Amino acid sequence: MNFDDSTTQQTSELELLKIQRDEARSQLKETRNMLQMVMDNLPQQIYWKNRQHRFLGCNKLFVEQFGLENPEDVLGKTDDEAELKLCDAIRALFKQREMEVMRHGIPQYHSLENVEADGEERWLDLSHVPLFRDGDIIGVLASYRDVTSRILDEEELRKHRDHLSDLVKNRTLALEAANQELANTNVDLGNANRALAEANKAKGQFVANISHEIRTPLNAVVAMTELMLDTQISQMQQEYLTTILDSADSLLFTINDLLDYSKIEAGKLELEYVKFNLRETIESSMKSLAVKAYEKDIELLIDVDPDIPGFVKGDPLRLRQIILNLVGNSIKFTTVGEIGISVKLNEFTSHYIDLQFQVSDTGIGIPEERQAAIFNAFEQVDNSTTRNYGGSGLGLSIVSQLVELMHGTISLSSEYGKGSKFSFNLVFELVEESFGGRRRDPKGKFKGKTALILDDNKEFIRIIGGSLKRWGFDVLVIENFEIFSKQILSEEGQIPDLLIVDSKMRDSGEIIDVVGAAKKFYGEKCKILFTLTRGEMLTKIEGDSILFSSAYMFKPIVDFELCEKLQSIFTSEDDNRHSGMMHKSVSLHSGESLNVLFVDDRPLNQKIGKALLTKFGHKVDFANNGEEAVEKSASQVYDIILMDIQMPKMDGYEATRHIRDREKKTGIHLPIIAVTANALKGDGDRTLEAGMDGYISKPIRSEQLQNALKKVMEQRGGC
């Protein structure tokens, strides 16, 4: 190789080296730029310095905090030379860290430093790591972040949390205190409740005792007045005594209401649960009000669905009380028109029957705004009610409670001045005899016969006409007495098989004349049935030469009784006079004289018993308590015992049990009738359980006593 060749070769190697160097430089630059770019994008301030604390580099975030733009502005400078506006405390801290790290070569990572910078508290998250070259420390790399706001937020959060937990703690304490207070209040309440229950019990007992004490002399007033009414007295004395009797009766009613009300208040009102004749209870309740209604010339109507069963299980006395209360109110608040009870079947299953009752009247009515209030205790329509009609305002509140106890509800619809309708339903349990023992409705039995109803009451015609049609009658109706009278006088019109005459359409004389003429015109084919409301009319009929053998029934008419009456009219020659449904029962006076043992610890009651029984021709002996009754009935022969229940030494139940035990040996049954102080107490059921044959309630009314004696003696086959 010649010189030129070698020179050329060297030159090209040099060129290559130059190119390689340029390439390396550009790569280095690129790497540095890349590194700077990474640094600039980190979310921390970063700088690195040599051992003389001069900047070797930094990122953008670092210079920007001092208002500089370019990291190169600080290169080669110390903090002072670069005029970085760092507060003294931070500058000192950085310096100290840099020195420590460069001296010991140990990194200090992420320490959280708290510095006071220009009067402000600041928090820095700070790392310093040594930079090495060939094992020697050549500088330090620092990175930091101001985390003051995060720390402050955390602090705020902590404070908030502390505050919350304080709140919770305080609330918990307050709640505990409230709980304690509640527990104390509960204890107080329990004590107060006990005291209240005691007070209620005492009050109930007090009311019971007082009413018993009032009832006993009142019973005597009622009984003695009734006895006096039966003696020879003047018209005026009769009126005075009747007023006494009415007042004593209404006082008794009020006392019973008060007693019931106090029981309701004490939650002690309990129902009896016995088998009883439903229809008879409804009908007899209505009949017991007949005298009062007809005294006011008000029609009383009973409309009981013929499909309703006879016997059910429930509380007959409370059912009676509901009816007496509602119908009694109707009579009180009605001056003209009619009062009716209707009973329909709502539904029945194999166990229960739900009946819909309605008591309606054509009385003064109840203004709409007072209709809800009158079901509350002591509420009346207005203040003048007591003045004009009397009453305590307790009746309806008791009735609604009783209805509720019998699983029913009660409602009222009324038009002021026109009348009221109280509707309620009651549920009773069916028993084996419910349908078996029922009086049968003889559908179609009188087919081919014609009945003429002479009556001016449309409801009566509807109800009785309906029954007659069911039994097969063709029914004719004449509502106007004049029209009937004209027909008879001119001997016109169809001749019926049955003439039902309302005896109060005209005065008794006119009725007797016209019906007498009708009897002549119609002849024997036509049977006459008078519906009566007063006893005097009966005397007139019996005294009339043509009509004396006519049949009669007292209103209110019960359809089953009417049916029985018609069967006897059309099937026998019986003159019917002595089987009439009088509202004064048939006297026992003419019957046998009984030997009665009257058991009662009160002399006043013995006096009443003696007066009533001797009036009917019976002989009376007395026992002062159950023990005496057991002894006397062992040594002497009596036909019947009337036994008081509450007595000292031995009560009526126990005495009866002793007597019944004794009879097991003799086989002779001595009838015992209980005389209960309060028939509503549930005594009825207990008396029968104790082996008694029946019961009557005080005050002993002569009619009630006669009926009870009659019933027992009939069962015995004696009367």
Size of the site for ligand ADP (CB under 6 A): 19
Q: Which stretch binds ligand ADP (CB under 6 A): 288-296, 393-401, 552-560, 594-602?
A: 393-401
Tell me if 408 contacts ligand ADP by CB under 6 A.
Answer: no
Q: What minimum distance in Å lies between the beta carbon of 385 and ligand ADP?
A: 4
Respond yes or no on whether the N-terminal peptide bond of residue 217 is cis (omega within 30° of 0): no
Tell me if 593 contacts ligand ADP by CB under 6 A.
Answer: no
Tell me if 338 contacts ligand ADP by CB under 6 A.
Answer: no
Which residue among 361, 455, 459, 639 contacts ligand ADP (CB under 6 A)?
361
- CA–centroid distance for 509 within its chain: 55
Q: Which stretch binds ligand ADP (CB under 6 A): 159-167, 392-400, 434-442, 477-485?
A: 392-400
Tell me if 364 contacts ligand ADP by CB under 6 A.
Answer: yes
Measured from the CB atom, is 396 or 642 closer to ligand ADP? Answer: 396
Measured from the CB atom, is 406 or 452 closer to ligand ADP? Answer: 406
Respond yes or no on whether the N-terminal peptide bond of residue 367 is cis (omega within 30° of 0): no
Retrieve residue 135's tokens. 């094992």
Q: What's the rounded Cα separation, in Å, for the pair 340 and 457?
A: 12
Tell me if 337 contacts ligand ADP by CB under 6 A.
Answer: no
Q: What's the rounded Cα separation, in Å, for the pair 242 and 263?
A: 32
Q: What minimum distance in Å lies between the beta carbon of 410 and ligand ADP?
A: 12
Q: Is 443 exposed, middle or buried, given 0-12, 13-18 or 19+ CB atoms closer than 10 A?
A: exposed
Tell me if 410 contacts ligand ADP by CB under 6 A.
Answer: no
Tell me if 461 contacts ligand ADP by CB under 6 A.
Answer: no
Measured from the CB atom, is 302 or 630 closer to ligand ADP? Answer: 302
Tell me if 380 contacts ligand ADP by CB under 6 A.
Answer: yes
Tell me if 385 contacts ligand ADP by CB under 6 A.
Answer: yes
Q: Is 519 exposed, middle or buried, given 0-12, 13-18 or 19+ CB atoms closer than 10 A?
A: buried
Q: What's the rounded Cα separation, in Å, for the pair 347 and 219?
A: 42
Cβ distance 497 to 523 under 8 Å? no
Tell me if 423 contacts ligand ADP by CB under 6 A.
Answer: no
Measured from the CB atom, is 59 or 400 closer to ligand ADP? Answer: 400
Cβ distance 375 to 325 under 8 Å? no
Which residue among 63, 102, 220, 381 contacts ligand ADP (CB under 6 A)?
381
Q: What minimum distance in Å lies between the beta carbon of 655 and ligand ADP?
A: 38
Q: Which stretch binds ligand ADP (CB under 6 A): 241-249, 390-398, 650-658, 681-689?
A: 390-398
294 phi and psi angles, rounded to 5 deg: -75, -20
Tell me if 374 contacts ligand ADP by CB under 6 A.
Answer: yes
Helices and strands per DSSP (H, E), number in the chain: 21, 22
Question: Tokens 């009311």 label which residue?
Answer: 207
Tell me if 395 contacts ligand ADP by CB under 6 A.
Answer: yes
Q: What's the rounded Cα separation, in Å, for the pair 572 and 440?
A: 20
Q: What minimum distance in Å lies between the beta carbon of 250 and ligand ADP?
A: 9
Residue 356 sits at the vertex; the CA angle it makes with 352 and 359, to the nearest 5 degrees, is 145
Tell me if 488 contacts ligand ADP by CB under 6 A.
Answer: no
Q: Distances from the Cα of 18 to the Cαs of 4, 28, 194, in angstroms?
A: 21, 15, 115
Measured from the CB atom, is 397 or 625 closer to ligand ADP? Answer: 397
Tell me if 453 contacts ligand ADP by CB under 6 A.
Answer: no
Q: What minimum distance in Å lies between the beta carbon of 369 and ligand ADP?
A: 13
Cβ distance 72 to 56 under 8 Å? no
Cβ distance 523 to 544 under 8 Å? no
Q: Interface residues with ligand ADP (CB under 6 A)?
A: 329-330, 333, 361, 363-364, 366, 374, 380-381, 385, 391-397, 420
